[in-house]
Structure 1
């Protein structure tokens, strides 16, 4: 009997089988956080870009979750101010991948395969993920959450991206409305792209906890949105960084609160 998308969503929304370790990217010269499984060689890795004014601490649940499923995650804590540079944050995302792929992590029991690298990000960090991927031929998959336009333009960079991508758009986003941001990036994408609309999500639904920027940025965290995000990003990166096909049925199906817009097939193209 085929496994239903809902069952896979439930499975992947829960922590994976790996014990998780947390480290400091600053030890390698880049302020930020890194999460790894307790051990493993030739692991995949994902660099994550924070949203405007948001510290990486607002995404620790997602980063830890991916690590529990065997994916090393690294989040630079740079350019967090109101005038932070998109171009430089994109460069720091690439540097974070350099650190993951070039340094034995933990006590030497953890290593990353340079052929299994991905990038993700929220808001402006999602746009920066696109900028970084366009300039880094090592990147095999990109995921964005409520992506925002950047300078240089993420929409222009998307045309140079041939790797698979997943874009989650927040239907109630007043900061980066889908029609002018995530949809344009997905439409411009040079390779396979899937756009999912989370109708009730707002810009900060993907974040967690409280922060002073909540006074300036419209929206608030949402546990249900984070749950769906964890499952979809885990399935997406396991598929495109490790070749795991078990979760294809989830990636190619509509799920409650995360409807595929346009072409439904992501894994078969």
Structure 2
């Protein structure tokens, strides 16, 4: 099984079979970006929350990657300022899902199944994804990257989240250390939750390129971190939203560059 997981990691680290289209959420009244497969009906969709001060284009590679594997990915560009609201970003994530479901994308040959919706996010955007999931019972899967605490508290919102979740934590994170943030959210989660720790990753390793916020937030983009994150998130959403359960094998076995550090279902399993 470990060999199969390695093969899946390699497969999912590469772009998928779909040609990708990029659109602008501003066309429907919300700043942000949406990436879709070139065609497809009844597709899954994921709304992605950006980190503090981070514009959506710093996650463009991840959004394109998900779309190349058949998942519509939308990232609102709201609340990017220093005083951006976590609560309102959470509401905008749900609105982005509304757009994906309610607007025929592309030239009308792309549609989203309202029963296949997920949320994801980085840093405080991960926390906002948790807030959104707690308030939106349409959400079937949630993934966070270096999740950071929010106000209202993501840890409190997690107690109302029953959808399966994975939380990728950065082992060298000095902004949102895993134990006090990603792991705390996972331990409070009402449904299945797993924490994958990337030992060599920093808080900003999940982003792309350079940005002026690097003067305020420790760390920068990391190629290996992004590669592992792309593979794990793609496997998770394909398994949970698209019903392609064979990709779950990647999440059940050790992978290079990541360690399964918490599994709520293992915690609940009776001891031998």
TM bucket, shorter chain: over 0.9
Deviation of residue 265 (structure 1)? 6.0
- Which secondary structure does the structure 2 equivalent of 1:117 belong to? strand
Q: What's 1:260 paired with?
A: 260
1:92 aligned onto 2:83: no
Q: What's 2:26 paired with?
A: 26
CA distance in 1, matches of 2:97, 2:111: 12
Deviation of residue 216 (structure 1)? 0.7
User: After the TM superposition, which parts of structure 1 deviate over 4 Å for at least 4 consecutive aligned residues?
Assistant: none
CA distance in 2, matches of 1:247, 1:79: 34
CA distance in 2, matches of 1:2, 1:263: 18
1:127 aligned onto 2:127: yes
CA distance in 1, matches of 2:53, 2:2: 43
CA distance in 2, matches of 1:65, 1:265: 29
Structure 1: unaligned runs, 5 residues or longer: none
**Count of matched residue pairs:** 267
CA distance in 2, matches of 1:108, 1:85: 34
Q: What's 1:8 paired with?
A: 8
- Which secondary structure does the structure 2 equivalent of 1:246 belong to? helix
CA distance in 2, matches of 1:264, 1:142: 15
Which digits, 9 at most, give the CA deviation of each residue in 1:64-88, with x for residues without a partner? 0000000000000000011100000
Q: What's 2:165 paired with?
A: 165
TM-score (norm 1): 0.97
- Which secondary structure does the structure 2 equivalent of 1:4 belong to? helix
CA distance in 2, matches of 1:220, 1:101: 34
CA distance in 1, matches of 2:186, 2:262: 10
Which digits, 9 at most, give the CA deviation of each residue in 1:183-211, with x for residues without a partner? 10000000000101111100100000000
Deviation of residue 247 (structure 1)? 1.1
CA distance in 1, matches of 2:22, 2:237: 20
1:148 aligned onto 2:137: no
